[in-house]
Amino acid sequence: GQNIDQPTEMTATEGAIVQINCTYQTSGFNGLFWYQQHAGEAPTFLSYNVLDGLEEKGRFSSFLSRSKGYSYLLLKELQMKDSASYLCAVTGANNLFFGTGTRLTVIP
Amino acid sequence: NAGVTQTPKFRVLKTGQSMTLLCAQDMNHEYMYWYRQDPGMGLRLIHYSVGEGTTAKGEVPDGYNVSRLKKQNFLLGLESAAPSQTSVYFCASTSGGGEKLFFGSGTQLSVL
């Protein structure tokens, strides 16, 4: 089975840096995705990590440690539009299993 | 660029009624999925398909059926709706097991 844990809610200040953690236990792990979901909208792709290490993409970076079953999403220079839920998802053989998501609120 | 299209966007059913949700993708993707999203529960996989004519059960398949008669379409059926099936339903597709998912805009279903 799969077990994916992320914090339920986080609050951060505009212009700051925030790190959203995700830990997982799963069989047949292939890789880990991060998705962003604004309220009332569909999830949109942010990043995909297969190998250990940090992947940087503009203001967003994602890190993976396969041996520790751990990932984080780092958001820099926070903007008000970054207020959203951030979903961690792990891939199995043919499926993608999601955590419950972290609702991030960016305050002025 | 249509991508993944879900219909309808909203629906209200009475307990015991049936309905079908339609998902269509124009990206020639092999893999298609149906998820439901409930507050505090995240996205949960209902059924999925890895190719035309194939379907498989996900985490929460009970009360739902699916069909993939054509590669571009993936249908989700509720034969006898129950209030516990009130949820937001998302369809998604991808070209392969390790590729990113493209999501439809969602269907808000209420069962009274």
Interface test with B, best of A41, A98, A102, A103 (most B CBs within 10 A): A98
Compute the Cα dihedral for A38, A40, A45, A47 and give only its sign.
positive
**Which of A42, A50, A94 is opposite residue B103, by nearest beta carbon?**
A42
Q: Can you tell me which residue has the tokens 């914090």?
A: A7
pLDDT digits (tens, 9 = 90+) for B1-41: 679 999 999 999 999 999 999 999 999 999 999 999 998 88
Phi, psi of A101 (to 5 degrees): 90, 150
- Tell me the Cα Rg of chain B: 13
**Which of A45, A91, A97 is opposite residue B97, by nearest beta carbon?**
A91
Q: Do B42 and A93 lie within an 8 Å CB cutoff? A: no
pLDDT digits (tens, 9 = 90+) for A39-68: 999 999 999 999 999 999 999 999 999 999
Q: Do B100 and A45 lie within an 8 Å CB cutoff? A: yes
Shortest CA gap A43–chain B (Å): 7
DSSP secondary structure, A11-70, as one string? EEETT--EEEEEEEEESS---EEEEEE-TTS--EEEEEE-SSEEEEETTEEEEEETTTTE
Contact between B53 and B68 under an 8 Å Cβ cutoff? The reply is: yes
Contact between B58 and A95 under an 8 Å Cβ cutoff? The reply is: yes
Low-confidence stretches of chain A (pLDDT < 50) are none
d(CA B18, CA B87): 15
pLDDT at B1: 64
